[in-house]
Structure 1
């Protein structure tokens, strides 16, 4: 099967290409470095030629209000190019709880992307994943100094990027869901506890302080960022992943 992976050179996309190729599929990475510009549509027709499936893991360059225009334009261009190429299945990677946090510009932008996909001309699947293990240090860095890391007590259920990749590949090579699959890690943490576990594993003696106004996840209400009862749980536990990473 031929699949075109939009954003196929990034953290998730490059691994999706590798995993599809290893399984015997023809996986074509599409990104600015391969001559594809999602915003203008340049190179899209060539990249989608002969593809049965499009896997869209491209990300906005910003997380602010400009991300709305990015996802509106790129999704519109991709759906139109897919229809011209006869693509039979469009897959998008999104975020668990994305439609429950309208306070965040980026989450509103990803919700818009999902809506455009649903309204489009092609059978589709949406894979909603929780936060990645790989981003925990970045999340902490937003609200930290030399002695303290401030984090809200927001419940999260993070997962390894490799498990996200496996979930995307599983959906992309199957029948279209015409709906959503939620995927999450096996364990729920509060964000402040996740910070303490991470710092301890890294030998970092800074203190974690609960601050319900700290960082972008401070605006999240309740447990909307956790997988929920219907989520497919990934196998990798965070503590084991941390040990392997250090």
Structure 2
């Protein structure tokens, strides 16, 4: 994935396709709301798909008619929610899009004693502490930039996958014997060494360790929607025209002074 932010048009090129920037979501709460909206719409899509499958297999016309009405009502609601998304974020879920994370805040879960100590510390900023129900967290890292966030998430997924693999091998070793058991134990030992090394690098770079529970909050993200070549050229021209207009306005204002 290539981010081709320029002075004229902010876009991403991925696998020969172009996605232009349509919206920036600039707060933690706004990003939470966006994800809630996306989950809601996806849930509605799944509901419609299930209703359509049910309509294919029911045996009576009355049942098919009743399901058809449910499908129409659900589709109407989905269309309304999608229109709201388009109005709020400048894009439609009917089109392919990229949600690019620009800034993430990483919090580590604290014990009650750790939370009290952090709260009593004059150096701790109030916004660095977070309480969610009975859980308490402290900010340990802020990750800026799309590429840095992509790398961070890949690293997290890698370490989590390694940990899951070790758990699976341990379960297999418990049910094995002889040479097979010895081979698995050797593989587990090597995998654990790699996991420890990767986890240490994560801790050093981000202050993040899989030995502790954590929370990620998206503070800023950008939405890019897929466009065809005609739409891309049109958007590129509009961005260039806007840049020229802004430059001309600046020159006029400077001349007045």
TM-score by length of structure 2 reads 0.23
Q: RCO (CA 8 Å, sep 6+): is it higher in 1 or 2? A: 2
Larger relative helix fraction: 2
TM-score (norm 1): 0.24
Structure possessing the higher radius of gyration over alpha carbons = 2
